[in-house]
Chains A and B, each alone.
Chain A
Amino acid sequence: MADQNTFKSGRASGPETGSDIGLDRDADMALEALFSEAQMQPPQMTQAFQQGLLADALAHMPPPTYAPAPTPAKQGLLAELADAYGGWMALGGSAGGAVFAGIVGLWLGIAPPAALEAMTANLSPGAASANADAAAFEGFDLAIVFQETAAGEEW
């Protein structure tokens, strides 16, 4: 750490030389050699002690400050279908309309209005007429039928 060898006086200082402290040169060199060996051969820690130090460190370590990624929860069939469709967000815009359309379609199938039933019957030109209303539509103009009905006439 030569960079730290600065005294208050400002002069640089390496290791004291033998002459600085009253040692002869040979004694100083021999001591320096011993010190160098000591630096190269530090006391060795046992492996068990090293592992104990690491265990201490981990035991006292604060928990991570970052939030771990949440584990995805197991999802049901409905959620999986939603995911396949593009997620709930994608479904959101169409869900209301789809449900309404489905209900309306179901109701029309069970109890169709009479006018609608007659119209659908006409869409099949070869089908036999099954009732009087249908027979009337076959021979007259629809507007005349409505007019007569409004006037209370039997037809």
Chain B
Amino acid sequence: MFRKTFSRGRAPDARSTVAPATERPRPDPDAELLLRYAQGDAAAASELTQRLGPKAFGVAFRVLGDRAEAEDVAQEALLRLWKAAPDWDRASAEEDGDDTKGKAKVSTWLYRVVMNLSIDVKRRRRGGSVDLDAIPEPADDSRSAADMMQDGARQEALQAALMQLPERQRRAVVLRHIEGLGNPEIAEILDVSVEAVESLTARGKRALAKLLVTRKAELGYHDG
């Protein structure tokens, strides 16, 4: 399972850390840990793995819907982080050749790597490079979201419904509503505008409601 070779995803663009002008950015605890890691601190390695491993795996699993693929993506994403650690300041800021721009949060950088690797996995699944949003989702061989809801497996039903969303909507919904990120950070991760994030999450949420509406009782709501 480990050491699966991936095609290289796009390196994350770390330039657009969005914060109101009046706010000073808070120190990134992950960046401080990464600095200690780069200095050979094994305790920092352990703490970073505990903090970031579940994030990388969780978001990869929600987006890919496959545990083995999610593990591969999470492992590769963290490997890239470890390799970037000695030059983190430079690597996170000079992607577009301008060192004066702000540094990305480590977690933002990682989410972006995970998303790019997940796109690679999806492309390999489909056997080539295509516009993912241009084609309909393939029919899911597993049980439908409604069937799962009937069994009371609410989270499995949510995951099944997520897998039926178009790719970009799914990524936006996962980052917004499950990972709890703000729209500016999602825009940075997905390399789209904040307005595009708003649109993707709204459409995704509506689509999820339609997918799950056939089992309102199990979801716990009723027509008003």
Assembled-state Cα–Cα distance A32/B205 (Å): 10
Contact B205 A31 (CB under 8 A): yes
Which residue in B39, B75, B201 is a CB contact (below 8 Å) of A53?
B75
Cβ of B9 within 8 Å of any chain A Cβ, yes or no, is no
Q: Which of A56-112 contact B (CB under 8 A)?
A: 56-58, 60-66
For chain B, the bracket of interface size reads 35 or more
Assembled-state Cα–Cα distance A52/B53 (Å): 11
Contact B154 A53 (CB under 8 A): no
Assembled-state Cα–Cα distance A31/B211 (Å): 11
Cβ of B150 within 8 Å of any chain A Cβ, yes or no, is no
Assembled-state Cα–Cα distance A6/B154 (Å): 31
Cβ of A143 within 8 Å of any chain B Cβ, yes or no, is no
Q: List 23 A-B contacts (CB under 8 A).
A: A4-B184, A6-B182, A7-B194, A13-B182, A20-B202, A26-B221, A30-B212, A30-B216, A31-B209, A32-B177, A34-B154, A38-B158, A38-B178, A39-B178, A42-B58, A53-B49, A53-B74, A57-B46, A57-B49, A61-B42, A62-B38, A62-B40, A65-B39
User: A38-B155, A62-B40 in contact; A6/B20 too (CB < 8 A)?
Assistant: yes
Cβ of A130 within 8 Å of any chain B Cβ, yes or no, is no
B45-85 near A? 1/0 per residue, CB < 8 Å: 11011000110011001100001001100110011001101
Q: What residues of chain B lie closer than 8 Å to A65, measured between beta carbons?
A: 39-40
Give A contacts to B, CB under 8 Å.
1-8, 10, 13, 15-16, 20-35, 37-39, 41-43, 45, 49-50, 52-54, 56-58, 60-66
Q: What residues of chain B lie closer than 8 Å to A22, measured between beta carbons?
A: 202, 206
The residue of chain B having its C-beta at the shortest distance from the C-beta of A38 within the complex is B178
Instruction: List 4 additional A-B contacts (Cβ < 8 Å) besides A4-B181, A38-B62.
Output: A7-B194, A24-B224, A26-B216, A33-B220
Assembled-state Cα–Cα distance A3/B18 (Å): 11
Cβ of B168 within 8 Å of any chain A Cβ, yes or no, is no
The residue of chain B having its C-beta at the shortest distance from the C-beta of A58 within the complex is B45
Q: What residues of chain B lie closer than 8 Å to A23, measured between beta carbons?
A: 205-206, 209
- The A-B contact count (CB < 8 A) is 156
Q: Which of B169-197 contact A (CB under 8 A)?
A: 176-178, 180-185, 194-195
Assembled-state Cα–Cα distance A121/B77 (Å): 96
The residue of chain A having its C-beta at the shortest distance from the C-beta of B205 within the complex is A21
Which residue in B39, B62, B182 is a CB contact (below 8 Å) of A5?
B182
**B83, B209, B213, B224: most-surrounded residue (chain A CB, <10 A):** B209
Contact B53 A45 (CB under 8 A): yes
A39: shortest Cβ distance to chain B, in Å? 6
Cβ of B219 within 8 Å of any chain A Cβ, yes or no, is yes
Contact B40 A57 (CB under 8 A): no
The residue of chain A having its C-beta at the shortest distance from the C-beta of B52 within the complex is A53
Which residue in A5, A16, A61 is a CB contact (below 8 Å) of B40?
A61
Which residue in A5, A15, A49, A57 is a CB contact (below 8 Å) of B71?
A49
Q: What residues of chain A lie closer than 8 Å to B206, measured between beta carbons?
A: 21-23
A57: shortest Cβ distance to chain B, in Å? 4
Contact A57 B185 (CB under 8 A): no
Contact B224 A4 (CB under 8 A): no
Assembled-state Cα–Cα distance A21/B197 (Å): 13
